[in-house]
């Protein structure tokens, strides 16, 4: 059996389609199928549910897939470590971040890129659950997500900053000259909010519930850019995280997470080292320009 056969298996799991998996591996579809059959013969178990189209993996196939992902991740980590010994850190850093914190990511990736110019970075906007799954499946090296609102399993974490919430609403007499608003007041506005697939929305809903109100947003989305565009036009309002000033009370912490296993991928370890020396809270406060939104 060859390492590339495990690559075929992982590609098939990602693409869920034989032709696309073959294209991702730069091989023909017959070559990919032959490699998968070789794996089945080597282990003596069926791996892929047989059918005209891809229909999933057998129970044994799921276990082999999990080991294949770990094997390939450790191979890549070893290659990074050996490369770093010869010519400095090289490789590919894969980051998944929840949408509301991605605007802060450049505070980490900019100094990282200056220190490690031979490492390429890819960033995906994902839900907190997708990030956790990506770490477990070795498709991500690190995640940027909430640390203390929903349980995180089999990961290590590094706190970065604390989050608070502000009400973004059109300037009018109702909130003129005010710097604070209540959750009850916010619930009466024409709201556009992130949808319930986003952990941020679940946190915000908990705050509304604690205030004894239930928001009835007119628009819901999983895109922060969509919210931003609506806030610039018409009478829309929204409740979003704001990291310029601190909020009193127990608020979610934002931090990096990475798989709880050794050895840690060198690119992930390098980003963690950069993060220890970046004052994100201070940088975000320094970026504050103009009047602040209304604080909730």
User: For all residues of the chain together, what is the average pLDDT?
Assistant: 82
Confidence of residue 133 (pLDDT cuts 50, 70, 90): confident
Cα–Cα dist 108/113, whole Å? 9
- Given a cut of 90, whether residue 96 has pLDDT beyond it is yes
Domains of the chain, CATH where assigned: 3-70 (1.10.10.10), 88-161+252-282 (3.40.190.10), 164-251+290-295 (3.40.190.290)
Find the mean pLDDT for residues 101-129. 89
- Given a cut of 90, whether residue 16 has pLDDT beyond it is no
- pLDDT for 149 equals 64
Confidence of residue 221 (pLDDT cuts 50, 70, 90): very high
SS (H, E, C) the chain: CCHHHHHHHHHHHHHCCHHHHHHHCCCCHHHHHHHHHHHHHHHCCCCECCCCCCCCECHHHHHHHHHHHHHHHHHHHHHHHHHHHHHCCCEEEEEEECHHHHHHCHHHHHHHHHHCCCEEEEEEECCHHHHHHHHHCCCCCEEEEECCCCCCCCEEEEEEEECEEEEECCCCHHHCCCCECCHHHHHCCCEEEECCCCHHHHHHHHHHHHCCCCCCCCEEECCHHHHHHHHCCCCCEEEEEECCCCCCCCCCEEEEEEECCCCCCHHHHHHHHHHHCCCHHHHHHHCCCCCCCEEC
Find the mean pLDDT for residues 96-122. 89
**58-75: pLDDT as tens digits:** 988 888 888 888 888 788
Higher pLDDT, 139 or 172: 139
Q: What are the tokens at 3?
A: 């390492």
Higher pLDDT, 77 or 57: 57
């Amino acid at each position: 059996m060859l390492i590339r056969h495990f690559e075929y298996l992982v590609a098939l799991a990602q693409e869920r389609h034989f032709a696309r998996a073959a294209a991702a591996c730069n091989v023909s579809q017959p070559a990919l199928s032959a490699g998968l059959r070789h794996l089945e013969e080597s282990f003596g178990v069926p791996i892929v549910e047989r059918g005209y189209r891809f229909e999933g993996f057998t129970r044994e196939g799921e276990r082999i897939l999990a080991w294949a992902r770990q094997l390939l991740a450790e191979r890549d980590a070893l290659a990074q470590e050996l490369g770093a010994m010869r010519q400095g850190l090289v490789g590919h850093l894969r980051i998944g971040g929840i949408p509301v914190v991605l605007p802060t990511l450049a505070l980490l990736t900019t100094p990282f890129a200056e220190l490690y110019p031979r490492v390429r970075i890819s960033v995906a906007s994902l839900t907190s659950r997708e990030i956790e799954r990506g770490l477990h499946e070795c498709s991500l090296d690190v995640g940027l997500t909430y640390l203390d609102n929903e349980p995180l399993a089999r990961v290590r974490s590094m706190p970065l900053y604390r989050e608070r919430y502000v009400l973004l609403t059109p300037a009018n007499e109702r909130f003129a000259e005010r710097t604070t608003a209540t959750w009850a007041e916010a619930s009466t506005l024409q709201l556009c909010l992130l949808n319930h697939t986003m952990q941020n929305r679940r946190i915000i809903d908990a705050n509304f519930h604690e205030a004894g109100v239930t928001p009835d947003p007119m628009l819901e989305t999983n895109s922060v850019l969509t919210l931003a565009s609506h806030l610039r036009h018409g009478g829309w309002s929204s409740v979003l995280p704001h990291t310029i000033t601190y909020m009193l009370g127990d608020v979610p912490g934002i931090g990096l997470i990475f798989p709880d296993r050794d050895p840690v991928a060198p690119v992930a370890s390098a980003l963690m080292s950069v993060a220890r020396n970046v004052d994100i809270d201070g940088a975000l406060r320094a970026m504050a320009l103009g009047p602040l939104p209304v604080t909730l």
